[in-house]
Each structure stands twice: as structure tokens, then as C-alpha cells.
């Protein structure tokens, strides 16, 4: 597995990481714990060194799973986690309240350290920008944690270029994590020029369009009742039918390259910038191996241009988030 560096802090990770959320939440019921531990071990054996989790996944369960699974590999892997949510007592204890107050960040870090069974958090992201707390205070709190040796690198998620600049002035930002794929290319205009200017790495989540770009989902697919994709407008049955044209394009291109649509989608991201590290998630060994195979698919500048020109002619239908989640991005 090739390695890449995120940010000027020289955080070195595998070119393809592993998004762990779906093992515990988001895409239906939690998966079998021992099976997921075995899969995480398989990822390490195949060269993956970058694993992504968050306290809100589960909630808390995913950090516990990742902590237990990766305990044998301390010092050999990089674990990223996130802060910024807490249980909303007015909403039955659901984790839908933002809280990036400095004291809350520091308490959350202590708890994440215990669940992850580590002495230091490699990369600590603010999960969503909290408009009630100046970003300078957030960056300052993480700076304190770094000074205390409890965090190595500061990250942000779904933040705007303006907010990234303000945070970076207080504590250098190593990486931004936001959605980015051939299914969602807005970051190219909104944040990537700023990331390049400041020397900040980019970690695209949902690099396979929440599974849609794999070609394994179509208009007839039924999601589990607990699958958050039921709330994603662009993944409604009607919009999946309209957006199938993008998957057909990927499939056609992939057939010419003796690859899969997922591999082409990931290879496109890797070809865009050397400081981009996608984190596809899966709960199946075959899909893990397929995703990692993308690192061996080299796209030329002409390939990238061909893909982009063809996909630009396809109108993607539907918003990428529900109204609640949409209001929390790009702030």
C-alpha cells in the first residue's frame, strides 16, 4: 500500500483509509463485533494504517470497537476520531446537539482516549462547526490538548474555507474531512483551493457516494429501516433512477480498464491531488479488497479529464443531506 502525507504536520497514512462508522451505525443494525474485529485486522494485514471513527458513531460503540480491534497494532496505525456532539436531553437523549465548548472538548477527549485504549489521539476532528462557540476557542482547546500530549493533530469536518482559515491561524489544521466524490464535487470550488494554499490534507468521506457508485444499489434497492440513507434526498428511489446514469458511466469506464466502478471512483480521487486520502467504509472482506485494489489503478490526466467531462453532462438529482444535516455543513 502506498503512503501519503496529510498536511504540513507530515501525518503519514495509507493512501486509502478505512471509515469505520457503518460497523456500528448509519447503515442499518450494528454488525457482529467479532466479525468486525476480524475485518479490521484484515485491513491492517493488507496495509491500511488509517482508521476513522467518532464518539457519535453508535454512539460510543464504534470507538470501543476500534479501540479493541486495533489494540494489538499500537504505534503502527493512525486513529482519527471526532468531537462536538452530545446527547440532547430535550430530545430523549439523542445525540443531535452540538457542543464545542472548550471544557466539553477536553472532557470528550479524555473519554475517547479510554474507549480507544490509547495515550494520544492521532487526529482529532471537530465533527461539525458549532456556531455558538468561536472557532478560535475550539482551535485553542485542541492546541491545549496537543501541548498536553493527548492529541497529535487537529482536523475539521465539513467546515467552510473561511472557518478553516480562522482555526488554522490559532492551531494548524492537518486535515479537513468532508464528503467528496464524483457524486459530490462542490469541494473543488469551495474548500480545495484553501487547503492547497495552507497545506492541509483532504480526507473525503462517502467517496463511493454512500455506496451508490459501487453499482450495487439501484432504484429497486430497499434500505433497512434504520439506514440513514432513507433520509438522503438524492438516494430516494426516484432520484436513484435518475442518477443511475453516473453509475453507468463509471461502469463503462471501469470495464475498459478491467476494474470495478468503485475502484475507478476511488482512483479518480487519488489522481486528483497527492494530499487526498479517501476513507471508504465496508463490513465485508471482499469489498475491502476491492476498495484497496483502487490503489493499483492509475488514471492519467486524460483519464481524469474524460471522466469529468462525461460526468459533468449528467445532472445529479436530489440534495445530499436532509434539511437538518444540510444546515450543519459549510459553516
| Residues labelled catalytic | 57
Length of the chain in terms of residues written: 331
How far is Cα 173 from Cα 193, in angstroms, rounded to an integer? Answer: 15
Burial class (CB in 10 A: 0-12, 13-18, 19+), 120: middle
**What is the CB neighbour count within 10 angstroms for residue 10?**
9
d(CA 134, CA 139): 9
- Put the strands of the sheet holding 201-205 in their side by side order: 18-19, 50-52, 78-83, 121-126, 151-157, 173-179, 201-205
- Alpha-carbon span 155 to 146, nearest angstrom: 12
- Nearest residue to 47 via CA among 13, 19, 95: 13
The Cα 164–Cα 291 span in angstroms is 30
Secondary structure E strands in 29-159: 50-52, 78-83, 85-88, 94-98, 121-126, 151-157
Task: Please tell me what DSSP assigns to residue 212.
Answer: G
Amino acid at each position: 500500500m502506498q503512503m501519503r502525507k496529510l498536511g504540513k504536520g507530515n501525518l503519514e497514512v495509507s493512501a486509502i483509509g478505512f471509515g469505520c462508522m457503518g460497523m456500528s451505525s448509519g447503515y442499518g443494525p450494528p454488525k457482529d463485533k467479532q466479525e468486525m474485529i476480524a475485518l479490521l485486522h484484515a485491513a491492517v494485514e493488507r496495509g491500511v494504517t488509517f482508521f476513522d471513527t467518532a464518539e457519535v458513531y453508535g454512539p460510543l460503540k464504534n470507538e470501543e470497537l476500534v479501540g479493541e480491534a486495533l489494540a494489538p497494532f499500537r504505534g503502527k496505525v493512525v486513529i482519527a476520531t471526532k468531537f462536538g456532539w452530545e446527547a440532547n436531553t430535550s430530545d430523549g437523549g439523542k445525540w443531535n446537539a452540538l457542543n464545542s465548548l472548550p471544557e466539553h472538548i477536553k472532557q470528550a477527549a479524555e473519554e475517547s482516549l479510554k474507549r480507544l485504549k490509547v495515550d494520544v489521539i492521532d487526529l482529532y476532528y471537530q465533527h461539525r462547526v458549532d456556531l455558538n462557540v468561536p472557532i478560535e476557542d475550539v482551535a485553542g482547546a485542541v492546541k491545549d490538548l496537543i501541548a498536553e500530549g493527548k492529541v497529535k493533530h487537529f482536523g475539521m469536518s465539513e467546515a467552510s474555507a473561511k472557518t478553516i482559515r480562522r482555526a488554522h491561524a490559532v492551531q494548524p489544521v492537518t486535515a479537513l474531512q468532508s464528503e467528496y466524490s464524483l457524486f459530490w464535487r462542490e469541494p473543488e470550488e469551495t474548500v480545495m483551493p484553501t487547503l492547497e494554499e495552507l497545506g492541509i490534507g483532504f480526507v473525503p468521506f462517502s467517496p463511493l457516494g454512500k455506496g451508490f457508485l459501487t453499482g450495487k444499489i439501484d432504484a429497486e434497492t430497499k434500505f433497512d429501516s434504520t439506514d440513514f440513507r432513507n433520509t438522503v434526498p438524492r438516494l430516494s428511489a426516484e432520484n436513484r433512477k435518475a442518477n443511475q446514469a453516473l453509475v453507468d458511466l463509471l461502469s463503462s469506464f471501469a470495464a475498459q480498464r478491467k476494474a470495478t466502478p468503485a475502484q475507478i471512483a476511488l482512483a479518480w480521487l487519488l489522481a486528483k491531488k497527492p494530499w487526498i486520502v479517501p476513507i471508504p467504509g465496508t463490513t465485508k472482506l471482499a469489498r475491502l479488497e476491492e476498495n484497496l485494489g483502487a490503489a493499483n489503478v492509475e488514471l492519467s490526466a486524460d483519464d481524469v479529464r474524460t471522466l469529468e467531462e462525461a460526468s459533468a453532462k449528467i445532472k445529479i438529482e436530489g440534495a445530499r443531506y436532509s434539511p437538518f444535516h444540510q444546515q450543519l455543513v459549510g459553516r
